Amino acid sequence: MIVKDVNQEREQWGSKVGFILAAAGSAVGLGNLWKFPYVAGKNGGGAFVLVYFIILFLVGFTLMLAEIALGRHTQLNAIGAYRKLREKWAFVGGLGVLAAFMLLSFYSVVGGWVINYVIKSVTGGLNVSDPEVLGNMFGEFVANRWTPIIYHAIFMLLTLLIVLGGVGGGIEKASKIMMPALFGFIILLAVRAVTLPGGIEGVKYLLVPDFSKINMEVILSALGQVFFSLSLGMGCMITYGSYLGKDTNIPESAVIIPLCDTAIALLAGLAVLPAVFAFGFEPAAGPGLIFVTLPAVFSQMPLGNLFAIMFFILVLFAALTSSISLLEVCVAYVVDEWGWNRKLTTWTLAGLIFAIGVPASLSMGPWADIHLLGDRGFFDTYDYIVSNWLLPLGGLLLCIFVGWIWGTDAAIKEVTNNGTLEFKLRGLWVFLIKYVGPVAILVVFVRSLT
């Protein structure tokens, strides 16, 4: 039986907190943990954080509100939401589903690496203080033909098992366990790092403003970071918003979710940078930071093994709460629009996404010489298409759609629960979604292509 019972009610979040935790879980991910600390430190510390906050408010909050409103209003997946309001705009939702599909395929490869490092930290395999040795260990691991694919499969399987449980029983329940744990771990790690002798240098790197470093490029990278970090532009928040009841306070959620995300990003900075500086390392970008530099740091810290385990579990939780939102975007589409049942849909999509991710994994080693776009292999090509094309395009079209096509009056009606809720920032929000959002995103988009 693959045809859905049409009388079946759409599932809803069990509670307001459940929704916030799930949405914040989608937002908090690898972007917060391995990108934010490094990008912030490099680009002027506190000055970058300030710019980030301004953009968070101007664009992050604005688009978050728009996506959630679109989802709750239509009670549909990303494609269905656009289609229900304007048939011709369904393709924008399509870009989102495609983006989620592609992003998950390589996000899961990295998720697999994280699982491997959880195991390594538990079995003592990371008790190495020489970053060169750790670098080689990481390099050899990802370049392996089969091992990373097996871990990629395990990560996909975990994602699938949660999504199979449904919205309330799967996603919400998992988020309610993983998010508080993640929060607790990151606070412990931050306190430990900041109190290390010499740790203060890392705090300074992150927070002391150097305004001379702020230029157009830095502002653009802050915008890109806000976008990715808040899971905007690919219909995640439309999908999660579609499971909301009509009585929730959307403006409040659209403020709380970005604040949670930023709090975790800042805490990640405080957990990572002081530790890196205290042991005389240089903060590296991306995977190098969490898979090479940090294990070296932990191995020299008292009780370092414990902190390493805690750290990799927290990274895993962050990655999983994001990956389930990506899978849900795709699942919701197929269930809503094609009428498939949830179980079959979830297994099929997870299988396809896994398969698409295999070349991304292989491109780290055996297929390193295969180039698709320019000198990019599979992994980098997926990343490039999603981050430089699909996300900005999805965000831009979202602004235009909500600001000009569906219209801000209709959106505000939804956001204020038919005028019964106060929405103090409405005038500002209208201006932001109609003008500031589209222009800002357009500038980033054009820049990233040149």
Is 26 an interacting residue with respect to ligand PHE (CB under 6 A)?
yes
Question: Residue 159: CA atoms inside 13 Å, Cβ hemisphere, count?
Answer: 37
Total of residues contacting ligand PHE (CB under 6 A)? 14
Q: Which of 32, 62, 175, 293 binds ligand PHE (CB under 6 A)?
A: 32
Candidate segments 70-78, 212-220, 248-256, 318-326, binder of ligand PHE by CB under 6 A: 318-326
Rounded distance, CA 237 to CA 245, Å?
14
- For 418, which DSSP code? T
Neighbours of 422 (CB within 10 A): 9
- Distance of alpha carbon 242 from alpha carbon 23, whole angstroms: 12
Helices (H) and strands (E) in the chain, counts: 23, 0
State whether residue 112 is helix, strand or coil.
helix
Q: From CA 429, how far away is CA 88, in angstroms rounded? A: 25
- Determine the residue type at 80: G
Stretch that binds ligand PHE, among 22-30, 53-61, 244-252, 370-378 (CB under 6 A): 22-30
What would you measure as the largest C-alpha separation in the chain, in angstroms? 63
User: Using CA atoms, how far apart are residues 410 and 327, in angstroms rounded to an integer?
Assistant: 29
> CB-wise, 67 or 414, nearer to ligand PHE?
67
Nearest residue (CB) to ligand PHE, 297 versus 318: 318
Q: What angle do CA 37, 41, 42 make, to 5 degrees?
A: 120
228 in contact with ligand PHE (CB under 6 A): yes
- The binder of ligand PHE chosen from 175, 221, 229, 361 (CB under 6 A): 229
Contacts of 449 (CB under 8 A, 6+ apart): 388
CA distance 48 to 69: 30
In the complex, least distance from residue 331 CB atom to ligand PHE, rounded to whole angstroms: 14
Q: What is the nearest approach in angstroms of ligand PHE to the Cβ of residue 271? A: 16
- Min dist. Cβ of residue 318 to ligand PHE (A): 7
Q: Token pair of 212, please?
A: 């001379």
Please pick, from the candidates 142, 234, 271, 364, the single residue that binds ligand PHE as defined by CB under 6 A: 234
For ligand PHE, the closer CB: 134 or 332: 332
Q: Which is nearer to ligand PHE, 96 or 304 (CB)?
A: 96
From the list 24-32, 122-130, 369-377, 423-431, the region that binds ligand PHE by CB under 6 A is 24-32
- Report, in Å, the least distance between residue 134 CB and ligand PHE: 23
In whole angstroms, how close is the CB of 323 to ligand PHE at the nearest point?
Answer: 8
* 3-state SS assignment for residue 351: helix
Token pair recorded at residue 172: 């919400």
Instruction: Candidates 25, 29, 283, 357: give the one binding ligand PHE (CB under 6 A).
Output: 29
75 forms part of the interface with ligand PHE (CB under 6 A): no
236 binds ligand PHE (CB under 6 A): yes
Instruction: Give the dihedral sign, CA 64/65/67/71.
Output: positive
Cβ closer to ligand PHE: 30 or 296?
A: 30
CA atoms within 13 A on the CB side of 68: 31
CB of 392 to ligand PHE, least distance (A): 13
| Residue sitting closest to ligand PHE (CB) | 29
Contacts with ligand PHE by CB under 6 A lie at 26-27, 29-32, 228-229, 231, 234, 236, 322, 325-326
